[in-house]
Amino acid sequence: MNPALHDLLASARVVSLPLVTRFRGIDTREAVLFHGPNGWTEFSPFVEYEDAESASWLAAAIDFGWGTTPTPLRDRIHVNATLPAVGVSEVEAVLARFPGCRTVKVKVAEVGGLLADDVARVARVRELLGPDGRIRVDANGGWNVDEAETAIHAFAPYDLEYVEQPCASVEELAEIRVRVKYMGIPIAADESVRKAEDPLLVARAGAANILVLKAQPLGGVAAALNIVRDAGLPVVISSALDTSVGLSMGAFLAASVPELDFDCGLGTAALLAADVTDAPLVAVDGQIEVRRVDVSDELLDRHAASAERTAWWLARVERCHALLAG
């Protein structure tokens, strides 16, 4: 049963956390934390998302705080490092924040960026990882099919694990998958799952080899596990630049997936310059623990959002709660 709005708002704390480096065009990450019977939970859709999309994120927060959490199948999750679209000179310093990680996801196809810069970033990662490390690139749907094909050819010498969301539409993903199949480089789908009215369409269309799933956008751990079951494809569990509370939700999802063959994108607390807990969920020897996170009142106070931003977020919670109730 969904908690009443006043129960949500009674424990709500809105925070604004600085980032180590600019990511997704932002320098701070805002989130709302709630405390339910299960412990702390998080609501943090990006600010540009409309209420209809954001309501799924609230459903996930409610599920994690008030619902039934599956029994984990594992107590630690191997995670990848996440490299924003930084200059080559910054790559080593960013990766140093992910100790022991054997896999790096490199952001590419940023608006205004050049393919040559993306290739140089990937080349530097390969140099630092050595031949045994794993590299995946994430374009966030930034290329058309021809651009994607050109880019994948340019990255091929660096032995990619897969290319995540090279194009925006399911039809484009299906076409680029056919075009590069001979190269043996898998295609993964992220936005085509979490932003779709039908998250299984990409699997039915044969448009991807791998699905990237995030607990919050998909409505929570239970809803995401249904997609895992029905899609029948390998999955990577990832995050959306969550606080450690949100990462905990992702960790429980990853721990409940029957077969987890890939390192997961749940190490992004390393990109935060501040967190909400004294025991952040950061990688140790390339892994994070599967555990609930206790927040620090002192950190919640220190990083509390302004009164204006707090009011904006709480109004958003109220609208999304009404959508779920309706």
Separation CA 194–CA 300 (nearest Å): 29
Which residue, 238, 251, 256, 322, is CA-closest to 292? 251
Name the nearest CA neighbour of 78 among 265, 205, 281: 265
Instruction: Let me know if 309 is exposed, middle or buried by CB neighbors in 10 A (0-12, 13-18, 19+).
Output: middle
Q: Is there a binding annotation on residue 275?
A: no
Catalytic residue flag (residue 214): yes
Query: Most distant CA pair in the chain: distance in Å?
Result: 56
- Read off φ and ψ for residue 187, nearest 5 degrees: -110, 130
CA–CA distance, 278 with 78 (Å, rounded to integer)? 22
Q: How far apart are CA 287 and CA 266, in angstroms?
A: 9
DSSP letter string, 169-212? SHHHHHHHHHHHGGGT--EEESHHHHTSSSTTHHHHTT--SEEE
Q: Does 190 belong to an annotated binding site?
A: yes
Is 181 catalytic? The answer is no
- The answer on whether 164 is annotated among ligand-binding residues is yes
Which one-letter DSSP state was computed for residue 141? Answer: T
Known binding site for Mg(2+): residues?
138, 164, 190
Active site residues: 107, 214
